[in-house]
Structure 1
Amino acid sequence: MEKIILVLVSAIICPGVVFGAALSKTVLYQAPDECKWSGFSENDIVLVCSLRTINSELERTNFSVIQAQNTVRLRLECNEGLYYRSSLGDGSFSTLSELRELTIDYCKLNNISDGAFRGLSDLRNLTIRTHNSDWSTMRLELSSESFIEFRQLDYLDLSLNNIWTIPEGLLCPLKILTHLNMSYNEIQDLSNFHFSASLTSRKSRICVFSALVRLKKLNLARNNMNYIADRALEGLVSLTTIDLSDNQLTSLPPELFSETKNIKEIYLRNNSINVLAPGIFSELADLLVLDLAKNELNSQWINIATFAGLKLLQLSNNYIDSIPENTFIELTNLHTLVLSHNRLTNIGPMTFYGLFGISILSLDFNRINKIDAIAFKNCSSLQELHINSNKLQRVPEALAYVPLLKTLDIGENLITNIENTSLNLLESLYGLRLTENLIDIIKRGVFDRMKSLQILNLSKNKVRHIEPGSFHKNIQLQAIRLDENHLKSIAGLFNELPTLMLLNISNNHMEKFDYSHIPNRLQWLDISANRINELSNYFEIESDISLTTFDASSNRLTEVTANSIPNSIEVLSLKNNHITTIQPYTFFKKPNLTSVDLFGNKLTTLEPNALRLSPVPAHKALPEFSIGEIHLNVIVIWIGYKK
C-alpha cells in the first residue's frame, strides 16, 4: 500500500472497494496509509489524511499517490501538537483534477505561492485553517495570484490563519464566490482590504473586491479592525450577511451599505461603536437582523431614522438611558427587541408604540423603576418578556395588555405583593420567574387563572406563608422552586398537582416533613438545609410515591428507617445530619438505588443488615454508599449480592 509521505513516481492502486448499498455506484480505491474514507453516502464521502506536516523538515509529501479518479473531497489534517512549518510546492495537487472540495487543517503554512493550487480549476470549496495563532510568530502570507486557478470556487474559508494583510487582486478570479470567511485573523482595517474600487480604478478596470458580485456571506469577525473606509463594501451587490463582530470599530462610515441593498443580517456585536451616521440603515429595505450588542451607544443614536423594517434588533450592553417616543413606530415587523444591560429607568406610554408583531422583548439588567400602565398596549402579540434585574416595586399594570404572554421573568426586583395584580390575567403563561424579590405571603387565587403554568420560580424571596390550595388550579405545573425562603410548612400545598416532577424547598425553616405532603408522581425533591428531625411517613406510602432523587441533607435527622425512604429512590443524600442509627433493612427492596450519601453524620455503630440490599441483577452495579471517616464499634454489613 502506498504512503503519502514518500516521493514516488507512481502509485499502486489496489482493487476497488464498494462502500455498502448507499455507495453502490461509487467504487473507491484503497486509501494510502495515512488516509481513510469517511462518510455515509455518495454525497458526503471524503478522503481524510492525518499527517504530521506537509513538506517540512521532517518529511516530504507527495499527493500524487492519491488516485485522481473518484477523489472529489480531500481533507488534510496535520498534527496540531507539532510546531513545524509546512509548505505547499507548485502544483502540489495538480494530479487531483476531479477535486471539488479541499480542506487543510492545522498545517502551519506561512505562505501560499502562486502555483500551489495549479490544476484545481474545478475546485468549488476551499478551507485553509492553519491555526497559526497557536504559534505566535507564524503568519499566513498570500500572493496576489494564489487563487488564480479558481474559476469555479463558491466557498472560501481562510479563518484562523493569523493573516494580517490581503494582497491586491487576490480575490479577483473568484467571480462566482458566494461565501467568504476571514474571521479569527489579524486584519486591521478595510482601507487596504480592497472590497471596493474607486471610480479611477473602475475606469482603468483594475480588479479589486468589487469583482465579488455574487458574494452573499462575508465573515470578518474576530479581527483587529478599527477602521472601515467609506463605501468599503462597494460592488458587493448580492451581499445578504456581514459579520464584523468582535473587532475594535468605533464608528461606521455613512455610505458603508450604499450598494448592499439586499443585505438581511448585520452583526456588529462587541465593538466600541459610539456613533451611528444618520440613516445608515434606512435604505436597507430587506434588513431583518441588526446586532449592535456590547458597544458604546447612548440614547442619542436610538431614533426613528436608525431602524426600519427589522425583525430582530439587538442593542444589549450599550449606554442607552432613554428611548424617545415612537422610536420603533416603523418597526411593525419586529419580532425580537433586546435592550438588556443598558441604563433605562423609565418605560413611557409610547416607548414601544408600533411594535404590533413583537414576540420577544428583553429589558433585563437595566434600572427601570416605572413601566407606564399602557406601555405594552400595542404589543398584544408579546409571548416572552424579560424585565428581571431592575428596580420595580410592583407588578406592572401594563401586563394586562399582553394576554398571549407565555414566559415572564420579573425576578431580581423589589416586588412585595403579587395579589390583585395584572399577573392574575395571564391565562397563557407557561413559565413565571419571580425569584429574588421581597414577597412574604402568597394568598389563594393569585395563580388561579394561569391554567397553562408549568414552571414557577419563587426562590430567594421572604415567603413565610402560602395559603393551602394556592396551586390547586395549576394542574399542569411541572417544576416549583421555593428554596431560600422562610416557610415552616408545606402541608396542603402540592397534593393536587398530578404532573409536578420537581420541587425545591431547601433553605427554609421547616421542622416537619411527611411524604403525604407531596404528590405521588414527584421525581425530584430537595428539602435540604431546613430544621427537619424526622422523615415521616404516617400513611406508609413508600411504595406509592415516585421519588428518584431526594436531598434531605443538612437537617436534624437522627434515624433512618425502611419506611422513611421511598422504594423508588435512586439517588439519596442524607449528609450533614445528626444520624446515629440506621435500622436493619432500611435499603432493602429499593431496586433502583445507585448512591447514598451519609457523610458528616454521627454514626458509630451499624446494626446488622443496616445496609442490606435486595439481590442486585448481574448487569447492574452495586449502589455506592458514602459514609466518610467513622470508627465503627460493631461492623456487620450485608451489602447485597449478585443474582
Structure 2
Amino acid sequence: FRYSLKLEEVFLHELEFSSLPSGFFRFNRKLQTLSINGNKKLLSVEREWFKNVPNLKILNLMNNSISSLQPGVFDDLEDLESLFLSNNPVGSLDVKLLSKLPRLEALELAGMSLTTLPIGIFDNLADLEELDLGHNQLKKLDSKIFRNLFSLETLLLAENGIESLSPELFYGLRNLNEIDLSGNELTTLDTHVFRDCLNLEKLDIASNKFVTFNLPQMSFAKTLLDLDISDNMLTTITVTEDLETLFANDNQITGLESVASPSHDLTMLSLANNRLSDVSSILIFTDLEYLNISRNNFNQLDLGRLTGSLDELEVLNVSHCGISSFGNPNIANQESMKVLDISHNELASLPLEVLKHFPEMEMFVFGGNKFEDLDADRLIQHFKDMALVGVDGTEWSCGLVERAARTFEDNDIGFWSGELPVVCSGRAFNGICCK
C-alpha cells in the first residue's frame, strides 16, 4: 500500500498471515476502513499498525485468533466510530483498552471467551449506541458495568449463562431501545429492572427458563412493542394492549391473557408448537395481520370464526395441527388473506368450498394431508393471483404432478419448497415426490 496515498478502504480477509510490519500503513493516512478478518494465524495486534491512520473510522478484527489485546493498542484511533473484535479467544480485557475511543458508536465483543468485565471499561464511551457482548460466559454482570453509556440504543447479551439481573444494571440507559437476553438461564425478571429504560421497545428473552410472564406488571410495559419469549417453559403469558409483535413458539401455552382494553395493537403473533386447542383467546387481537399457530392440536378449526374476527389477517399458518375439518363453509369473503398454510393435517379433501372465500391468495401450502387428488384448473379458477403452491408431504401420482406442473407453469405459478430439502423414497418430478 506504499503508493496508495488516497486509499480509504483496506480488506485483508482469509490471507493466513501471522503479523504485519510495524509501518505497514504509514502511507495511508486517509484510510477510513480497515478490515482484517478470518486470518487464523493472526495471534496479536500491534499498536504500531495504527499510528499512521488517524482518520480511521471502522476497524474490523473479527474471526482471527487474537489471544490478547494489550493496553493502549487502540489509543491512536481517537476518531474511531466502529470497532469489531468478535470471535477471537481473548479471554479478558484491560480496563483502559477503550479509554481513548470517545467517538465510538458501535462495539462488538461477542464470542471472545470473556468471563468478566472490569468496572470502568466502558466509562469513556458516552457516544456508544450499539454493544454486542453475546456468546461469552458473562454469567454475572456488575450493576455498574454499563454506567455512562447514556447513548446506548442496542445491547446484545445472548448466550452468556446469565441467571439473574441486578435491578440497577440498566440504570441510566434512557435511550436503550433493544436488548437481547436470549439463550440464558433466566427464570424471572425484576419488575423494575428496566425502569430507567424509557424507550425500550424490543426485548428478546427466548431460550431461557420462564414458566410465566406478566408483561403488564413490568415497568417497561407501556413502551414495549416487540417481545420474543420463544423456547421457554411458559404455561401462561399476559400481554398489554400496546404490544405489536409477540413470538412465543415452543412453550406449553394453552391460551393468551391480556389486560382489559377496547383495542389491542398486536399485528404479528406466533404461537407455534404450544398446547392450544382453541383459538378463543386469540380472537380479541383484531388487528392481527400475521398468525402462526402451527404444531398445536385443534382437530377441528372453525376457520370462518377465526377469519371473521381477524379480518385484517394476511398470513395464516395452521400446519401440523391434526385438523380434519374447517367447519361451516358458509363464511364471509376475506380479501386481505395472501398466504395460507394448511399442510400436514388430516384433511380428507382439499376444502375449496371454504378456501374460495380468500380470493386474493398469493401463496397456498397444502401438501401432507390425506387427499391425493389435485385439480389444478379448479384451484387457479378460485385464486387468480396465486404465485406459489406448496405440495410437499404428499406422495402424489407422477402423472398428476406432471399435469399440474404444466397448468401452473402456464399460469406463472411456481412450486414452493420449505427450508429443509425433500428426500423422496421413490420417484420425483421437478423435485416433488411422486409414485
Task: From the superposition, tell whether residues 267 and 575 of structure 1 become closer, same or farther in structure 2 (CA, over 3 Å).
Answer: closer
Which amino acid letter does the alignment assign opposite residue 236 of structure 2? N
CA distance in 1, matches of 2:309, 2:186: 38
1:567 to 382, 393, 403: 382
Which amino acid letter does the alignment assign opposite residue 6 of structure 2? D
Q: Which residue of 2 aligns with 1:405?
A: 224
Q: Deviations over 1:231-288 (max 9, x none)?
A: 6533433332222112111111111122222221111111111111122112321111
1:471 to 2:276 alignment = no
Q: CA offset at residue 295 of structure 1?
A: 0.9
1:337 to 155, 160, 176: 155
Q: After alignment, is 448-457 or 507-516 more displaced? A: 448-457
1:180 to 2:10 alignment = yes
Q: Output aligned runs, 1:245-260, within 5 Å.
A: 245-260=62-77
Q: CA offset at residue 550 of structure 1?
A: 2.7
DSSP-derived class of the 2:13 partner: coil
Q: CA offset at residue 483 of structure 1?
A: 0.6
1:320 to 118, 131, 138: 138
Contact 1:472 1:493 in 2 (8 A): no
Contact 1:497 1:519 in 2 (8 A): no
Task: From the superposition, tell whether residues 563 and 301 of structure 1 become closer, same or farther in structure 2 (CA, over 3 Å).
Answer: same
* Larger RCO of the pair (alpha carbons < 8 Å, separation 6+): 2
Q: Which residue of 1 aligns with 2:122?
A: 306
CA distance in 2, matches of 1:564, 1:189: 67
Which amino acid letter does the alignment assign opposite residue 313 of structure 1? L
Q: Deviations over 1:33-73 (max 9, x none)?
A: xxxxxxxxxxxxxxxxxxxxxxxxxxxxxxxxxxxxxxxxx
DSSP-derived class of the 2:62 partner: coil
TM-score when normalising by structure 2: 0.80
Contact 1:440 1:462 in 2 (8 A): yes
CA distance in 2, matches of 1:361, 1:545: 40
Q: Output aligned runs, 1:226-625, within 5 Å.
A: 226-229=43-46, 232-298=49-115, 300-301=116-117, 303-307=119-123, 308-309=125-126, 310-395=128-213, 397=215, 399-418=218-237, 421=238, 423-425=239-241, 427=242, 429-442=243-256, 445=258, 451-467=264-280, 470-475=282-287, 477-491=288-302, 492-514=305-327, 515-516=329-330, 519-536=334-351, 542=356, 545-557=359-371, 565=379, 567-568=382-383, 570=386, 571=389, 573=391, 576=394, 594=413
CA distance in 2, matches of 1:297, 1:474: 46
DSSP-derived class of the 2:10 partner: strand
Q: Deviations over 1:91-126 (max 9, x none)?
A: xxxxxxxxxxxxxxxxxxxxxxxxxxxxxxxxxxx8
Q: CA offset at residue 448 of structure 1?
A: 5.9
Q: Output aligned runs, 1:181-220, within 5 Å.
A: 181-190=11-20, 193-195=21-23, 209=25, 212-220=28-36
Q: CA offset at residue 189 of structure 1?
A: 2.9
CA distance in 2, matches of 1:416, 1:499: 28
Q: CA offset at residue 289 of structure 1?
A: 1.2
Contact 2:324 2:348 in 1 (8 A): yes
DSSP-derived class of the 1:493 partner: helix
CA distance in 2, matches of 1:595, 1:209: 53
CA distance in 1, matches of 2:57, 2:158: 26
Cα-Cα RMSD: 3.6
Q: Which residue of 2 aligns with 1:154?
A: 6
Task: From the superposition, tell whether residues 356 and 473 of structure 1 become closer, same or farther in structure 2 (CA, over 3 Å).
Answer: same
DSSP-derived class of the 2:193 partner: coil
Q: Deviations over 1:196-247 (max 9, x none)?
A: xxxxxxxxxxxx7556544333222222211234565334333322221121
Task: From the superposition, tell whether residues 535 and 217 of structure 1 become closer, same or farther in structure 2 (CA, over 3 Å).
Answer: closer
Task: From the superposition, tell whether residues 255 and 510 of structure 1 become closer, same or farther in structure 2 (CA, over 3 Å).
Answer: same
Q: CA offset at residue 320 of structure 1?
A: 1.0
CA distance in 2, matches of 1:232, 1:356: 37
Q: Which residue of 2 aligns with 1:108?
A: none
Task: From the superposition, tell whether residues 189 and 529 of structure 1 become closer, same or farther in structure 2 (CA, over 3 Å).
Answer: same
CA distance in 2, matches of 1:526, 1:499: 17
Q: CA offset at residue 334 of structure 1?
A: 0.6
Q: CA offset at residue 499 of structure 1?
A: 2.7
Contact 1:393 1:416 in 2 (8 A): yes
CA distance in 1, matches of 2:26, 2:350: 75
DSSP-derived class of the 1:182 partner: strand
Q: Computing the radius of gyration over CA atoms, which structure comes out larger, 1 or 2?
A: 1
Q: CA offset at residue 346 of structure 1?
A: 1.0
CA distance in 1, matches of 2:69, 2:100: 15
CA distance in 1, matches of 2:36, 2:373: 64
Which amino acid letter does the alignment assign opposite residue 322 of structure 1? K
Task: From the superposition, tell whether residues 575 and 302 of structure 1 become closer, same or farther in structure 2 (CA, over 3 Å).
Answer: same
Contact 2:47 2:74 in 1 (8 A): no
Gaps of 5+ in 1: 1-125, 127-146, 156-177, 196-207, 598-623, 630-643
CA distance in 2, matches of 1:404, 1:424: 10
CA distance in 1, matches of 2:269, 2:373: 33
CA distance in 2, matches of 1:267, 1:572: 41
Q: CA offset at residue 553 of structure 1?
A: 2.7
Contact 1:382 1:402 in 2 (8 A): no
DSSP-derived class of the 2:37 partner: coil
CA distance in 2, matches of 1:284, 1:531: 61
TM-score when normalising by structure 1: 0.56
Q: Deviations over 1:310-368 (max 9, x none)?
A: 11111111111111113212101011111112111112211211211111211111222
Task: From the superposition, tell whether residues 545 and 209 of structure 1 become closer, same or farther in structure 2 (CA, over 3 Å).
Answer: closer
Which amino acid letter does the alignment assign opposite residue 154 of structure 1? K
DSSP-derived class of the 2:240 partner: helix
CA distance in 1, matches of 2:165, 2:214: 11
Which amino acid letter does the alignment assign opposite residue 511 of structure 1? S
The count of corresponding residues between Structure 1 and Structure 2 is 403
Task: From the superposition, tell whether residues 292 and 560 of structure 1 become closer, same or farther in structure 2 (CA, over 3 Å).
Answer: closer
Q: Deviations over 1:161-182 (max 9, x none)?
A: xxxxxxxxxxxxxxxxx43333
